């Protein structure tokens, strides 16, 4: 019987270079940057640092791979899907290595990386593999004319994919898999904080049998390598996950370079609304997980918990009990539910926001401080009596901080929930179907969860309203983002 998966103790970082044309190569400048273990602040490896010249090389390789009549362009679409199925199998084979690297680089609990992140990653790869040969155009009936008209769905071309550090391998595959399934070629720039799993992917891509140049991987910094992709005239599309501020820069770059297509998955400040008829213990647990999962470093974290006044005091008491007994520490120790924040900068930002909450009059019920002085650990924090006007209710904290707000009526809470420029996700806890549907319909958010939280499926579209993004990832909608529609008229 298979036991609980175990990390690889003392795993050495083997892959540290750029991946261009199916080969690992040094950067043109030879420069490197360190990647750090956030649980102990030790350096894990020096990674080759891509810059503008390396982007040029990767784009040239991508252009060759995407050339008319290239092996990639002529490849049967079922075969294209088979390569992605093979890549998924290879990630399954190397799942323990990938999960170990992910935990070393991000500090997330190993079992979470192994079960949840890798499950999602491999599942996404298989979902898009299955769509590769199901991309159909239409025939357009033009009765009474001597024209035959049809549409073709064609790959958008060279894709630049820019990803963040909170779910590195999962978000890399969420971009590579649909791009490749659509027949595009893709250059991934992973976040500088967490390059290890993305760089590891390179040799799996080669082993799966992808032709050279179809997938490139360029670890490096945003304002250099990332911006070079965004501003490149031969890159046809950027798919980006990250902060709203950088998303705005990307739209500007896309507009002024070549009007490249852009998909943006950005930040959030998701409301989570608890009505008095909800199952209280269940709602408390789900609301806690909604904001504490992955150390709060989730774009759709339920970071504003709105609780009806009739259950408010009880809800606070139970939330504090949960937060106070949460075990935080070494992410390789299976008894720890949370690890560290990603880096010192994020930790300081979170601590500063906690201070602002205290200053602005929110009631700190537990946590609110760093744990120890090595590693970027923060004690799970609960604030009560938070108001919409406070910074902790307005800004994305991206940390283990639950802000609890009180409400009286349905109309009031809908207004409070929508009072934000974000619109990524929201949740409602109630046993009343009318309340559930009415509130879900009124919330300005790309995803609404009813009596659940953080449910994601490769089949179901995901993305933001308002300043949380543009376009959708996942599902058929996710594939559409990598396709152009060509209309062909044939004179009969």
Figure out which of the listed residues 157, 222, 471, 475 binds ligand NAD, where binding follows CB under 6 A: 222
**Site for ligand NAD, residues 141 to 160, rule: CB under 6 A:** none
Q: How many alpha carbons lie under 13 Å from residue 2 in its C-beta half-sphere?
A: 3
Figure out which of the listed residues 111, 246, 295, 328 binds ligand NAD, where binding follows CB under 6 A: 246
**Cα–Cα dist 287/403, whole Å:** 10
* 3-class secondary structure per residue, 253-302: HHHHHCCCEEEEECCCCCEEEECCCCCHHHHHHHHHHHHHHHHHCCCCCC
Q: Is 223 in the site for ligand NAD (CB under 6 A)?
A: yes
Query: Catalytic annotation on 49?
Result: no
Sign of CA dihedral 22, 241, 249, 476: positive
Considering only 15-23, 246-254, 367-375, 479-487, which stretch makes contact with ligand NAD by CB under 6 A? 246-254
Q: Is 191 in the site for ligand NAD (CB under 6 A)?
A: yes
Q: Is 230 in the site for ligand NAD (CB under 6 A)?
A: yes
Query: Catalytic: which of 102, 116, 192, 265?
Result: 265
Q: Token pair 């409400």 is at which residue?
A: 407
CA dist list (Å): 235 to 142, 152, 172, 324, 387 = 36, 21, 18, 49, 44
Are 56 and 225 in contact by the 8 Å Cβ rule? The answer is no
* 152 token code pair: 């073709």
* DSSP reduced 3-state for 45: strand
- Total residues binding ligand NAD (CB under 6 A): 30
User: Looking at beta carbons only, is 70 or 243 nearer to ligand NAD?
Assistant: 243
Q: How many alpha carbons lie under 13 Å from residue 407 in its C-beta half-sphere?
A: 21
Q: Token pair 């970082």 is at which residue?
A: 13
Figure out which of the listed residues 35, 103, 166, 319 binds ligand NAD, where binding follows CB under 6 A: 166
119: which residues sit within 8 A by CB, 6+ positions away? Answer: none
Identify the DSSP state of 50: B
Q: Is 165 in the site for ligand NAD (CB under 6 A)?
A: yes
Q: Is 265 in the site for ligand NAD (CB under 6 A)?
A: yes
**Cα–Cα dist 416/409, whole Å:** 11
Are 291 and 305 in contact by the 8 Å Cβ rule? The answer is yes
Q: Is 163 in the site for ligand NAD (CB under 6 A)?
A: yes
Q: How would DSSP label each residue in 188-202?
A: EE--TT--HHHHHHH
Provide the mask over 267-286, with x wherever binding to ligand NAD is found by CB under 6 A and - wherever it is not.
xx------------------
Figure out which of the listed residues 21, 35, 241, 305 binds ligand NAD, where binding follows CB under 6 A: 241
Q: Is 343 in the site for ligand NAD (CB under 6 A)?
A: no
Q: Is 102 in the site for ligand NAD (CB under 6 A)?
A: no
Considering only 75-83, 141-149, 265-273, 368-376, which stretch makes contact with ligand NAD by CB under 6 A? 265-273
* DSSP reduced 3-state for 343: coil
CB 464, min distance to ligand NAD, A? 6
User: Looking at beta carbons only, is 81 or 464 nearer to ligand NAD?
Assistant: 464
Considering only 25-33, 123-131, 164-172, 357-365, which stretch makes contact with ligand NAD by CB under 6 A? 164-172
User: Looking at beta carbons only, is 62 or 225 nearer to ligand NAD?
Assistant: 225
Q: Is 396 in the site for ligand NAD (CB under 6 A)?
A: yes
Are 18 and 217 in contact by the 8 Å Cβ rule? The answer is yes
CB 249, min distance to ligand NAD, A? 5
Figure out which of the listed residues 192, 330, 337, 343 binds ligand NAD, where binding follows CB under 6 A: 192
Are 293 and 301 in contact by the 8 Å Cβ rule? The answer is yes
**Site for ligand NAD, residues 368 to 387, rule: CB under 6 A:** none
Q: Token pair 């590195």 is at which residue?
A: 168
Q: Is 162 in the site for ligand NAD (CB under 6 A)?
A: yes
| Buried b or exposed e, range 353-387, using 16+ CB within 10 angstroms | bbeebeeeebebbbbbebbeeebbbbbbbbbbebe
Q: Is 299 in the site for ligand NAD (CB under 6 A)?
A: yes
**Cα–Cα dist 316/309, whole Å:** 11
User: Looking at beta carbons only, is 183 or 399 nearer to ligand NAD?
Assistant: 399
Provide the mask over 202-221, with x wherever binding to ligand NAD is found by CB under 6 A and - wherever it is not.
-------------------x
CB 275, min distance to ligand NAD, A? 27
For residue 164, which of 343, 11, 403 has the smallest C-alpha distance?
A: 343
**Site for ligand NAD, residues 407 to 436, rule: CB under 6 A:** 424
* 190 token code pair: 């992973």
User: Looking at beta carbons only, is 120 or 267 nearer to ligand NAD?
Assistant: 267
Residues serving a catalytic function are 265
Contact residues toward ligand NAD (CB under 6 A) are 162-166, 189, 191-192, 221-223, 226-227, 230, 241-243, 246, 249-250, 265-268, 299, 396, 398, 424, 464, 469
């Amino acid at each position: 019987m298979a036991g609980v998966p175990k990390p690889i103790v003392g795993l050495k970082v083997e892959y540290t270079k750029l991946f261009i044309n199916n080969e690992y190569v040094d950067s043109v400048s030879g420069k490197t940057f360190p990647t750090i273990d956030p649980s102990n602040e030790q350096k894990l490896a020096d990674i080759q640092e891509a810059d503008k010249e390396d982007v040029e090389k990767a784009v040239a390789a991508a252009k060759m791979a995407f050339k008319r009549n290239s092996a990639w362009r002529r490849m049967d679409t079922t075969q294209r899907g088979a390569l992605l199925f093979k890549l998924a199998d290879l990630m399954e084979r190397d799942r323990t290595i990938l999960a170990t690297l992910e935990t070393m680089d991000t500090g997330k609990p190993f079992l979470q990386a192994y079960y949840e992140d890798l499950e999602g990653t491999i599942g996404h790869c298989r979902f898009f593999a299955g769509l590769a040969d199901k991309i159909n155009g239409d025939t357009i009936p033009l009765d009474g004319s001597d024209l035959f008209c049809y549409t073709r769905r064609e790959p958008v071309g060279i894709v630049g994919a820019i990803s963040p550090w909170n779910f590195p391998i999962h978000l890399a595959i969420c971009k590579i898999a649909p791009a490749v399934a659509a027949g595009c070629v893709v250059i991934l720039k992973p976040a500088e904080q967490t390059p290890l799993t993305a760089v590891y992917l390179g040799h799996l891509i080669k082993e799966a049998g992808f032709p050279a140049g179809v997938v490139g991987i360029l670890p490096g910094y945003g304002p250099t390598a990332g911006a070079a992709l965004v501003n490149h005239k031969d890159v046809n599309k950027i798919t980006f996950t990250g902060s709203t501020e950088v998303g705005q820069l990307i739209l500007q770059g896309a507009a002024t370079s070549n009007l490249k297509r852009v998909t943006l998955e950005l930040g959030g400040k998701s409301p989570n609304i608890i009505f008095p008829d909800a199952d209280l213990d269940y709602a408390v647990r789900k609301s806690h997980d909604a904001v504490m999962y992955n150390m709060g470093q989730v774009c759709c974290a339920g970071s504003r918990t709105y609780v009806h006044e009739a259950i408010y005091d009880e809800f606070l008491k139970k939330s504090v009990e949960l937060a106070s007994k949460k075990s935080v520490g070494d992410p390789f120790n299976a008894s720890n539910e949370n690890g560290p924040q990603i880096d010192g900068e994020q930790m300081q930002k979170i601590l500063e926001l906690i201070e602002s909450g205290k200053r602005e009059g929110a009631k700190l019920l537990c946590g609110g401080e760093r744990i120890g002085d090595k590693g970027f650990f923060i004690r799970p924090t609960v604030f009560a009596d938070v108001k919409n006007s406070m910074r902790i209710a307005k800004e994305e904290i991206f940390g283990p901080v639950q802000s609890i707000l009180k409400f009286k009526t349905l109309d009031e809470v809908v207004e409070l929930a929508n009072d934000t420029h974000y619109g990524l996700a929201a949740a409602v806890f109630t046993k009343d179907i009318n309340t559930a549907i009415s509130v879900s319909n009124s919330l300005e958010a790309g995803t609404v969860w009813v009596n659940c939280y953080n449910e994601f499926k490769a089949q179901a579209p995901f993305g933001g309203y308002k300043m949380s993004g543009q376009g959708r990832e996942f599902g058929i909608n996710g594939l559409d983002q990598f396709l152009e529609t060509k209309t062909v008229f044939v004179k009969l």
